Amino acid sequence: MKSLILIIITGALINNVVLNQFLGICSFLGVSKQMKASASLGGAVIFVITIASAVASLLYDYVLAPLGMDFMKTIVFILVIAALVQIVEMFLKKTSPGVYKALGIYLPLITTNCAVLGVALTNVQDGYNFIESVFSGFGTAVGFTLAIVLLASIRSRIREEDIPAPLRGAPIVLISAALMSIAFMGFSGLSF
Amino acid sequence: MNKYVERLYNGVVKENPTLILMLGMCPTLAVSTRAMNGIGMGLSTMAVLILSNLVISLLRKVIPDEVRLPAYIVVVASLVTVTELLIEAYLPSLYEALGIYIPLIVVNCIILGRAEAYANKHTPLLSVMDGIGMGIGFTLALTLAGLIRELLGNGTAFGAQILPSGIDPIGIFVQPPGAFLVLALIIAVMNAIGIKSRQRDLVDVGCDGVCARCTAECKKSGEVNAK
């Protein structure tokens, strides 16, 4: 149990997927314009990454590894993620329209979010079993949500400020991300 | 200008994928700790980009419009797997340095973005030139970021000692925060000397995260929203 909690904390804080691993930068910079959108995307990402990690782990352990088709993992994982996102979207539309309304438009965006594929591949690389993969996926996704929601709230403050002209737009957002990244480096001192 | 040369100019200068279009941010930030890593990543991506542009352009009349994205993903993923195996076999040190970012070329916005915005509408030769131009532009941007970070954070350039040993390098530049800082400074300098870009101003990076559908669909959705 302790090791599972450690996996979540490592994924969410110490090895933060955005600020330390640089995965999912596209949506991190693009969607963080609005707070509400960021929170919804975060919710959708938690949902998809957790399921995708579980499915990828099962596929790898029971299909790819026994058949010796380790090298096919990139192709298989990306197709599974793309299909999974479609299925999740259809499933939510049918069963819970409320959730679908909140997360629906963000689901297709997630297929190309490199964090999803990145987590699936890292889990295999680290030799995680099924349970560990699910927890690692969940922790990573929580880290993504934390980072994007924090950046969105910083950006809502930046909007009111008088920023030097060359730094307006992308540079000031990147500098904010840099400062967040410095803050998150502090978590690497956590020891258990 | 010859239309083939124009593709090269377009990729390197006018629509530089990293610095103007703000695509492929993940590898740019992640592997730019050393200038050599930047070149390695840039050239690997360029190889995949040229081949995927070629294949997708050749298949542009065969692939049905409805399933084009999954089809492109399969093409790109296969090419990336081949590239990954080749790097692992012949350049093991580069393979170690780039690690997980090699398979992640699959989800690099630049590749699907060019397939969608260019290769599926143009002849194979033009698409290859577009791939070469974009690839060089990406490689140059990565190498520039890598060079600045390596020089400030490690005191070296391409592995050769540049800063005198009396000066301590600023370690944070080779750590994750340095990636964001250096990219912010490069873009700020470009803004200051007057190289503008609509994408950068709006920070519509990859059109709100829709990497695969970057340019073409972005415009469409922009038009719809405007109405």
Instruction: Confirm or reject contact between B96 and chain A (CB < 8 A).
Output: no
Query: Nearest 5°: CA angle at B53, between B51 and B57?
Result: 120
Asked if A2 and A133 count as a contact pair (C-beta separation under 8 A), the reply is no
Judge: B104–A114 Cβ closer than 8 Å, yes or no.
Answer: yes
For B67-107, write each residue's pLDDT tens digit.
Answer: 888 889 899 999 999 999 999 999 999 999 998 899 999 88
Phi–psi pair at B160, nearest 5 degrees = -95, 135
Which of B20, B86, B104, B218 to probe the A interface (max A CBs under 10 A)?
Answer: B104
CB contacts < 8 A, A to B, total: 151
Helix B35-58 and helix B124-154, axial crossing angle in degrees, nearest 10:
170
Say which residues have a Cβ less than 8 Å from residue B40's Cβ, sequence separation at least 6: B31, B91, B94, B97, B98
How far, in Å, CA of B76 to CA of B70, rounded?
10
The boundaries of the domain holding residue B207 are 3-226
Judge: B104–A118 Cβ closer than 8 Å, yes or no.
Answer: yes
Chain B residue closest in CA terms to A163? B188
Flag the least confident range among A19-23, A138-142, A187-191. A187-191
Residue B157 bridge partners (DSSP): B160
How far, in Å, CA of B127 to CA of B115, rounded?
9
Judge: A171–B187 Cβ closer than 8 Å, yes or no.
Answer: yes
Q: B32-59: buried (b, 16+ CB within 10 Å) or exposed (e) per residue?
A: bbbbbbbbbbbbbbbbbbbbbbbbbbeb
Judge: A22–B26 Cβ closer than 8 Å, yes or no.
Answer: yes
Asked if A121 and B100 count as a contact pair (C-beta separation under 8 A), the reply is yes
For A135-171, write each residue's pLDDT tens digit.
Answer: 999 999 999 999 999 999 999 998 888 888 888 888 8
Asked if B29 and A22 count as a contact pair (C-beta separation under 8 A), the reply is yes
Per-residue model confidence (pLDDT) at position B48:
96
Among B109, B175, B184, the residue with its CB nearest the CB of A185 is: B175
Per-residue model confidence (pLDDT) at position B70:
84
Which range of A174-183, B20-29, B183-192 scores highest in mean pLDDT? It is A174-183
- What average pLDDT does the structure give for chain B? 84
Question: For chain B, what is the domain count?
Answer: 1
Asked if A141 and A8 count as a contact pair (C-beta separation under 8 A), the reply is no
Which of B18, B21, B26 to probe the A interface (max A CBs under 10 A)?
Answer: B26
DSSP code, position B1: -
Length of chain A in residues, anyone?
A: 192
Instruction: Extract long-range pairs of A14-17: CB within 8 Å, 24+ residues apart.
Output: A14/A187, A14/A188, A14/A190, A15/A143, A16/A143, A16/A146, A16/A147, A16/A184, A16/A187, A17/A115, A17/A118, A17/A119, A17/A140, A17/A141, A17/A143, A17/A144, A17/A147
For B19-67, write each residue's pLDDT tens digit.
Answer: 888 888 888 899 999 999 999 999 999 999 999 999 999 999 999 988 8
User: Which token pair is A125?
Assistant: 């690389």
Q: What is the ipTM of this complex?
A: 0.87
Is the pLDDT reported for residue B227 higher than 60? no
Per-residue model confidence (pLDDT) at position B160:
86
Flag the least confident range among A19-33, B48-62, B205-219. B205-219
